[in-house]
Amino acid sequence: MNERMSKPVLSVDMVVKHFGKTIAVNGISLDIRENEFFALLGPSGCGKTTLLRMIAGFEAPDSGVIRLDERDITRDAPEKRPLNLMFQSYALFPHMTVWQNLAYGLEMEGLPRGEIATRVDDMLTTTDLTALAGRKPAELSGGQKQRVALARALIKRPKVLLLDEPLGALDKKLREKMQLELKRLQSEVGITFIIVTHDQEEALVMADRIAVLRDGNILQCGTPQEIYEQPANRFVAGFIGMMNFIDGEIGTDALFRAGGQALACDLHGLKRNAPAVLAVRPENIRLVSDGTGIAGTVVDVAYHGLDRQLYVKTALSPAPLQVRVAAAGPEEAAARTGASVSLGLNAAACRLFQE
């Protein structure tokens, strides 16, 4: 990996934050590189928003250091930090027009009027908001407000742009469109983005790197592909994408056994002769026709257009296995409730975990 290639623009070093007795962030360290699109991903209450607010300067860490371009900014007031936050609620000033909202941050820098006007007009053009310049936030749709909030933060040309659930308030269609839009904008303006999200799909689509958080700790940090294909533990495996879990045990012969089946998997240093969980994604289970596979019965079928999701009851686990098959093709015949099928697991794509 090219982890060490560029120096970090933002580094978080052993940051801890308590709220009363509960620990929100439990000694997190992170290096975020120049021009990176970085995602903090986790369920609600995992500490991702608290971490973002500490970077922005709205919460002070109990201990630890936050550095921007190698300068300690841990105790700096929010207005002194050359980074900007796009709020989940957008937090547009309701008494100002779109134009005034954009100009606000530049006025605070004490720029001359002429320059402010030029930069606001440029940003309005970039974000396709020129027609709305004179409107108040109350007169905008959700998607328009989102663009104004983004433009208002970007116009400051921050070192790092922080985005708190930026697409959370939008409907599904618009969200997918904006995911690509955000990614395009990020590469266009060349600013480091740190996005907080609970939506794993959003993180996978947009981010260059993802940190998965839970209970104030980072469980895994890596590229979307690493996290999807090589989850570090059972939680990450279950949180990202669809996953089947099969309880079993690793025998002395280094084979994973469950429901009378034995499977050769990468043990990557796990204990032998001990219980383990096998995780396998629906697309890594295939239907086999030669009768050598694991016998099962289709109990449910969900049609997704391009493919079908089969729920197959087997001896491997109490819960039916999810199997993804193409919607059209030779497997179509099996895709009906009640069909008897035979399954084959792609051993190379299986992951084993021990608690």
Interacting residue ranges for other proteins, rule: CB under 8 A: 56-58, 77-79, 84-85, 87, 89-95, 104-105, 108-109, 136-138, 145, 152-153, 156
For the chain, helix (H) and strand (E) counts, in that order, are 8, 20
What is the C-alpha to C-alpha distance for residues 293 and 53, in angstroms, rounded to an integer?
51
* Nearer Cβ to other proteins (80/173): 80
* Nearer Cβ to other proteins (70/79): 79
What residue type is 270 in one-letter code?
L
* Nearer Cβ to other proteins (84/233): 84
* Nearer Cβ to other proteins (149/236): 149
CB under 8 A, 24+ apart: contacts of 287-291: 287/323, 287/325, 287/331, 287/334, 287/341, 287/342, 287/343, 287/344, 288/342, 288/343, 288/344, 289/342, 290/342, 291/342
CB atoms inside a 10 Å sphere around CB 34: 16
Smallest distance from the beta carbon of 260 to other proteins, in angstroms? 56
* Nearer Cβ to other proteins (79/355): 79
Smallest distance from the beta carbon of 137 to other proteins, in angstroms? 6
* Nearer Cβ to other proteins (140/237): 140
Smallest distance from the beta carbon of 321 to other proteins, in angstroms? 43
Q: What are phi and psi of 87, to 5 degrees?
A: -75, 150
Closest CA to 81 of 54, 101, 62, 107: 54
User: For residue 270, what is the DSSP state?
Assistant: P
Smallest distance from the beta carbon of 162 to other proteins, in angstroms? 9
Closest CA to 350 of 319, 316, 327: 316
Smallest distance from the beta carbon of 44 to other proteins, in angstroms? 18
Smallest distance from the beta carbon of 231 to other proteins, in angstroms? 34
Partner residues linked to 301 by β-bridges: 310
Smallest distance from the beta carbon of 79 to other proteins, in angstroms? 5
Smallest distance from the beta carbon of 108 to other proteins, in angstroms? 4
* Nearer Cβ to other proteins (120/312): 120
Let me know: does 116 contact 103? Beta carbons within 8 Å: yes
Smallest distance from the beta carbon of 325 to other proteins, in angstroms? 44
* Nearer Cβ to other proteins (67/136): 136
How is residue 28 written in tokens?
């997190």
Q: Quick one: angle between helices 142-154 and 113-126, nearest 10?
A: 130
What is the C-alpha to C-alpha distance for residues 112 and 132, in angstroms, rounded to an integer?
23
How is residue 249 written in tokens?
């045990």
CB atoms inside a 10 Å sphere around CB 348: 9
* Nearer Cβ to other proteins (145/147): 145
